[in-house]
Structure 1
Amino acid sequence: MKRLLFLLFCVCFYGFGFSQKITAKVVGVKDGDTFVVLNEHRQIVVRLEHIDAPEKNQPYGAKAKKFASDFCFGKTVVVIGNGKKDRNGRWIGEIFYKNQNLGKELVRNGLAWHFKRYSKNENYADLEMDARKKKRGLWQEKEPIAPWEWRKFKKRKFEIVRI
């Protein structure tokens, strides 16, 4: 019985211990899906969960960054994350300003993809399908290249040049 209670406590603690919600000021916009926020005098780099925005040097990359900047730069936002970090040490989470979700707004406006490899969230999938159907943003392009494909291509190109 004690073992079961201990296990239950660990499961509950794990769930609550790693879910995070902070209020912070956006002090940097690196690109359409990566931000620097200031919380209690410490800077935290946040990578938006569920989405992948075009790279800066990719078509629509500058537009995605501008949209994100207009949405939240210099503003106090709520960041909700599950406590996980990506391989670059960035906190993964969603950013809200006045109850609007930045990631969803980027996808809705055709400025980001739903990152299906890491997200099964149906809301994001629906928003992307709607943006595609209505040819918003990058979906106006004949064959838009997903950011993960763009990065893969750039990496291969760099490796060929290095050899």
Structure 2
Amino acid sequence: MPVTPLLLLCTVIAVQDGDSLRVRCPDADARPPAVRSVRIHAIDAPEYRQPFGNRARQALRQAVYRRTVRLDCVDTDAYARLVCKVSTVTSAGRPAEDVGLAQVRSGLAWWYQRYADAQAPTDRARYARAQADAQRAGSGLWRDAGRAVPPWQWRRSHPPVHGPR
């Protein structure tokens, strides 16, 4: 179900895997902050039981845990998570690093081209280039590219198991 584009500044309180977070967002009405689940837009990281699954989670955790992030949300998914471009922010609240792009650049996530149409053209180009560069360099999961199975294919043949939270 698409959402009206939504921009939030939130604090990351948990990293669930290499492409999913839990955040606490201040409420404009001064109510207690809302806790939300977030799926990083346009990437798909290896699942918990896949090679590089733990490494992808650790890299994302190192980048964002307990930090303020900017969420540019474009959708909600089937699990009611916000689907957002996630960026770290400067002290002035401006975007600093696109963490989804960093995961792809490190070879710890696939650029999920299925959702590329929802990306800005400049982001599509950056993500395509980042994945091509990671593949060429043999970074992360591309080290053994012949055996790397995209998570969307892997999930079809493996029942869901929740990893560490």
Taking structure 1 as the reference length, the TM-score comes to 0.81
Unmatched segments (≥5 aa) in structure 2: 27-32, 90-95, 118-123, 161-165
- What SS does the aligned partner of 1:144 have? coil
Out of 120, 140, 154, which is 2:158 matched to? 154
Pick the structure with greater CA Rg.
1
Unmatched segments (≥5 aa) in structure 1: 1-16, 159-163
Question: Which has the bigger relative contact order, CA under 8 A and spacing at least 6?
Answer: 2
Matched residues, number: 139
Partner in structure 2 of residue 88 of structure 1: 79
Distance 2:157 2:116 in 1: 23
Distance 1:119 1:32 in 2: 19
Give me the identity figure in percent: 29
- What SS does the aligned partner of 2:72 have? strand
Out of 88, 93, 98, which is 1:97 matched to? 88
Out of 16, 33, 54, which is 1:30 matched to? 16
Stretches of 4+ aligned residues off by more than 2 angstroms: none
- Superposition deviation, residue 122 in structure 1: 2.6
Out of 62, 66, 78, which is 1:70 matched to? 62
Partner in structure 2 of residue 143 of structure 1: 147
1:126 is the counterpart of 2:129: yes
Larger helix proportion of the pair: 1
- What SS does the aligned partner of 1:59 have? coil
Structural RMSD (CA): 1.4
